[in-house]
Amino acid sequence: MPSLVRRAGALALTALVIYGVAPAIGEVLGAWPKVANLKPYWLVGMVVAEALSCLCLWELQALSIGTRDLKAVATSQLAGGALGRVVPGGAATAAAAQYNMLNAADVPRSAIATGLAAATVLQIAGLCVLPVLALPAIVFGLRVPETLLETAILGLVLFVAMLGVGLAVARSDDALRWVGRAAVNVSGRLPGDRGLSAGFPNRLVAQRDEVTERLGDRMVRACAAAVGRWMFDLLALMTAVTAVGAHPRFSLVLLAYVGAQLLAQIPVTPGGLGVVEAGLTATLALAGVRGGDAAVATLAYRLVSYWLMLPAGLIAWLVHRRRLAVQAAA
């Protein structure tokens, strides 16, 4: 009975949020016909960038788990991620589904649990590093590139910068504790009674030590994969913005992207559906992209980062089932 009440409450909250952002969602969805008018090579560029982002995520998880079975990691992540995108608060469901699929593929249970946890820590760390790049982008006055080649070059520069900053912070106890204290101060100013405890900076260092001990000499490769996971996804958004003919300040687009990723983590609607579209469109408009163009760019980005992942997850699940059937027959 309590479980039924919680589910009903979650569905009611989801409906309430969707109702609240319905006007913004309607405006965004109204831009679908314009997405079809984008040049095909821009859409291909976004798909390639998102595919590379997924490849980096699979590599990160495989390194963290300690397995060479990249096929099992890829199919389980795609299928679990697709499931997490269609149920409210789906992050836990996605993790459970991936755990079960990896276990069925004969990956040791203990390695799965600790490996996925380590990969999650590195992903969060990579996302936290992104806003740091906004400052040099402001200083140098960077804008969103006008061509795919310029976008790729900027992405390479950002990748190197993110990896350098991430490794420097990860290896410095003082830097990690400073980040932890900043998080404690910010959380203490938020409404409610969910502020981080004073011991959070020390826990942050302890988690870093656990991840470092687990990965060993694979740490640099794992950090590079974590950085690439976010960088290629960001490039997909930048490509979408460039495709509509907008060239706002890169720093503002970067902050809009981080904000969208944070919105996607809020377990109110499945995969942040509706909330991310409304929030990203609004922040892109604030960054200087015209309202209509912001809606088109948002839809194009969400097409490759959200909607295409649903059929990909179904295909991955079928491949996984086929693989298990072949193994059982053998």
Q: Given this model, what pLDDT does residue 58 score?
A: 96
Q: Given this model, what pLDDT does residue 286 score?
A: 84
d(CA 96, CA 113) in angstroms, rounded, equals 10
d(CA 233, CA 123) in angstroms, rounded, equals 13
What is the pTM (predicted TM-score) of this model?
0.82
Q: Given this model, what pLDDT does residue 317 score?
A: 94
Give alpha helix (H) positions in the chain. 2-20, 22-29, 32-35, 40-65, 70-84, 90-104, 109-129, 134-139, 148-170, 173-189, 200-215, 219-243, 250-264, 275-286, 291-302, 309-329
Q: Given this model, what pLDDT does residue 136 score?
A: 76
Query: What is the full per-residue pLDDT of the chain (330 aa) written as tens digits?
Result: 455 555 555 444 444 444 444 444 555 555 667 777 888 889 999 999 999 999 999 999 999 998 989 999 999 999 999 988 887 666 778 888 999 999 998 888 888 988 888 888 888 878 877 877 777 777 777 788 877 778 778 878 888 887 887 777 667 777 777 767 776 675 566 545 455 677 877 877 787 788 878 788 888 898 899 989 999 999 999 999 999 988 888 888 888 888 888 777 666 666 667 778 878 888 888 888 887 888 889 989 998 998 899 999 999 999 999 998 888 887
Q: Given this model, what pLDDT does residue 214 score?
A: 79
Write the CB contacts of 324 (distance below 8 Å, at least 6 apart in sequence): 104, 105
3-state secondary structure of 143: strand
d(CA 86, CA 83) in angstroms, rounded, equals 6
Q: Say if residues 28 and 278 touch (Cβ distance below 8 Å).
A: yes
DSSP 174-188: HHHHHHHHHHHHHHH
Give the Å distances, CA to CA, from 290 to 22, 33, 145, 215, 301.
20, 17, 17, 45, 16
Q: Say if residues 289 and 18 touch (Cβ distance below 8 Å).
A: no
Q: Given this model, what pLDDT does residue 329 score?
A: 84
d(CA 156, CA 150) in angstroms, rounded, equals 10
Q: Given this model, what pLDDT does residue 28 score?
A: 53
| Domain map (residue ranges) of the chain | 17-240+248-329
Q: Say if residues 78 and 309 touch (Cβ distance below 8 Å).
A: yes
d(CA 12, CA 266) in angstroms, rounded, equals 15
